[in-house]
Structure 1
Amino acid sequence: MIDRLAPLLARRAHLPAQGTTFYRGVHTTETAGQFALDLAGDAGVLSLYADFSPQEEAELAGACAAAAGLAGVYLKRRPPEARHAANVAREWLSPPGPVWGEARAEVTALENGVPYVIRPGSDLSIGLFADARPARGWVRQHAPARVLNAFAYTCGFGLNAALGGSATVKNVDLSRKVLAWGQENYALSGLNAPDDDFLYGDVFDWFRRLARRGDAFDLVVLDPPSFARGKTGLWRAERDYGRLAALAAAVTAPGGGLLTLLNHAGVPAASFERMVRLGLEDAGRREHAAQRLGAGEDFPEATHLKAVAWTLD
């Protein structure tokens, strides 16, 4: 497998020249599901989906660094139960220091020319999800007047809407920390980032509050986790996404759009789209166009990410 690293990385060698220095260098479909390698400038993030001994981890990290010309490599262990163990085994799943080479606490990396703050040692999520690059590009290309970015994380979708010319962009997330990180991303692009455009709190509560106020958006972006614990219980995307789509539809203007994303390999694309349609029906809305967005050329044969842009009546 190590012998294949260089030719796999060579397939993506054109991306930095096109203004993208944050991307998937090696995908799991190219390693029999054992590992993936993300690149952020001269830092690498090695995600392991199989059991490796400490020696094997170090050897693989060193091989990735040599093949990609990296200064340092960070490790993310991603067993199937990682989403449940994140709060109790955080440092084992995502060691804060590099497993190989020099530390890079923070990297400014580019995606289609847009700079983002990437923190390779920051938990399992490092500031951006490379597979959503086509969807972020779609938002920047379309960028209607009013955009609501739900489950905003570090506000990549909101940032692209603002760069595309949207007059009003609201980013909603349950973490003040990631919203502040999003404001840093705005600042890198020279954009104003007033606090009232970064809404802290439960997304479901915010949807209800915005609906009561009569607010309507020309585009609502939904990029929820596949699993989460909240004050109202467990959120499971495979069970609850339709309800989320209904709430989003209630604040989507007539003729507006809904961009739905789900990173969950266990949910087939057809099942995902059916959930969304049922949710729209419950909200009394119909979709009359759906555009499916892929995960990008650096994710060959990827089926985990579902990204669909809907136009509502």
Structure 2
Amino acid sequence: MSTVIELKVKQNYIKPYKNGYPLISKDTVTNSESLTKEGSIVHLVDNNKFIAKGYYGVQNKGLGWVLTDKKEEMIDYEYFKQKILTAINKRQSFYNDENTTAFRLFNGEGDGIGGLTVDYYDGYYLINWYSEGIYTFKDHVIRLLEEMGEYKAIYEKKRFDTKGKYIDDDDFVKGERGEFPIIVKENGMNYAVYLNDGAMVGIFLDQRNVRKAIRDKYAEGKNVLNTFSYTGAFSVAAALGGAEKTTNVDLAKRSKSKTIEQFSVNSIDFEQQDIMVMDVFDYFKYANRKNLKFDLVILDPPSFARSKKRTFSTSKDYPDLIKDTISITEDNGVIIASTNNATFGMDKFKGFVEKAFKEVNGTYKILEESSLPADFQVNKNFPRGNYLKVLVIQKIRK
């Protein structure tokens, strides 16, 4: 058995750890320099008195994760089996939903094992490993997925290197290699997914409820602008919800072909939609010059992005993004503003909206707000894990 490393907890973190706080970081312990080999089991201690057991695995959030408050509990196959089967049982409604065949099966610390997520795509499993530390437990996870019975294939994404980036190598693990794209269903809508093509697969599962709301409540008869549109998933929902037209704007060159594909697998005529490869902020200037206005604008920017012209950070630049959006939104039109930045909460996000409207002397109403869907389980002792914030905002006519 490998040596267990004792980490001395700082005084002000003893109570949070006893109450279930899951993240281990340099800020919470006094002797992080004793950590050398990722995957090592650690004990959090207070004056040599055991508090909790976890593992060492470096990712952007910290140094590792707490796994149990039981000193004698082994972190072995049976441990992973119990955690993952419990998560699966919570998601039976998704397995039984014929109209939705893609969902998150296991959500990191929300399901008890930080640094690990498993997504399900119509018979295919996709494992995301967020540190070398959690990757050392790979055999336990793969063995369990195999033993659960029928599946088409297992794929993986190694989202770690020395800079915390995605390691781009062969993502196939076991089973029969898929012929991509595979077409998954989400609330009856079709989406083309690639499990073998880089860090992102073509759709963000955490936005499922937002896409449904766009289709069912906000799109009918509307002229829709989808910014940072990626593969156009929101626009598919809008078009299927009866939107008059969608305009899709993203700087990535491949976004155009990907968006065309998503429209096509839903039998939507992509030639009736606008798909533009350009900087979103340049598009705002263009739209203002042309006096273009939209009934529904969707904002879902990356937390951080850099182009040749500018750097964008949601924590700093989101108010300006909303201000630009207000100028091209029709009176009584709707802005759907979203962010996955975990460094601030909903109150601060609402503050961004208030600041933007105040600076343009505008009036607004928040129609609804939402966060992660049910399959993205959250640890109540770790609010940062509930990273998604979505506001549906109506620009009020003065």
Q: Secondary structure at the match of 1:95?
A: coil
Cα displacement (A) at 1:33: 1.7
1:130-180 C-alpha deviation (Å, 9 max, x unpaired):
110011111001214111000111111111000000111111111231221
Shift of 1:46: 0.9
In structure 2, what is the equivalent of residue 254 of structure 1?
331
Aligned mates of 1:152, 1:224 — CA distance in 2 = 9
Query: What letter corresponds to residue 9 of structure 1 in structure 2?
Result: I
- Tell me the SS of whatever aligns to 1:99: strand
- Contact conserved, 2:214 with 2:237, CA < 8 A, in 1? yes
TM-score, reference length from structure 1: 0.91
2: distance between equivalents of 1:36 and 1:208? 40
Contact (CA 8 Å) 1:27, 1:299: kept in 2 or not? Answer: yes
Is residue 131 of structure 1 aligned with residue 209 of structure 2?
no
Provide the aligned length of Structure 1 versus Structure 2.
306
8 Å Cα contact 2:194-2:201 kept in structure 1: yes
Q: Which moved more, 1:111-120 or 1:68-77?
A: 68-77
Give the one of 120, 125, 130 matched to 1:44. Answer: 125
Shift of 1:295: 1.7
Long gaps (5+) in structure 2: 1-78, 379-384
Question: How much does 1:43 deviate?
Answer: 1.4
Counterpart position of 2:351: 274
| 2:22 counterpart of 1:22 | no
1:192-207 alignment to 2 at 5 Å? 192-194=269-271, 197-207=274-284
Q: 1:227 maps to what in 2? A: 304
Distance, in Å, in 2 between the alignment partners of 1:187 and 1:68 is: 33
Instruction: Look up the equivalent residue of 2:141 and give its one-letter code.
Output: L
1:151 pairs with 2:228: yes
Matched with 1:5 is 84
* Cα displacement (A) at 1:270: 1.0
CA distance in 2, matches of 1:273, 1:96: 41
Aligned counterparts of 1:34 and 1:201: Cα–Cα separation in 2: 34
Structure 1 residues 195 and 290: alpha-carbon distance in aligned structure 2, compared to 1, 3 A threshold: closer
* CA-CA distance at 1:49 after TM superposition: 2.6
Do 2:297 and 2:334's aligned partners in 1 also have CA atoms closer than 8 Å? Answer: yes
Q: What's the counterpart of residue 392 of structure 2? A: 309
Deviation at 1:242, TM superposition (A): 0.8
Q: Measured at CA, do residues 165 and 7 of structure 1 come closer, stay the same or move farther in structure 2, by a change above 3 Å?
A: same
- The question of whether the paired residues in 1 share the 8 Å contact of 2:248 and 2:274 is answered with yes
Kindly state the Cα deviation for residue 16 of structure 1 after the two structures are TM-superposed.
Answer: 4.2
> Which residue is 1:98 aligned to?
172
1:53 Cα deviation from its structure 2 partner? 6.9
- Determine whether 1:67 maps to 2:145: no
Deviations 1:34-58 (A, max 9, x none): 2111111121111123433765324
- Check the 8 A contact 1:246/1:280 in 2, yes or no: yes
Residue type of the partner of 2:195? P
1:221-272 Cα shifts (integer Å, max 9, x gaps): 0010001111223211111111111111111000001001101111211111
Q: Choose 1 or 2 for highest CA Rg.
A: 2
2:366–2:391 contact (8 Å) kept in structure 1: no
Relative distance call for 1:50 and 1:59 in structure 2 (3 A) is: same
Q: How far is 1:280 from its partner?
A: 2.4
SS in structure 2 at match of 1:189 = coil
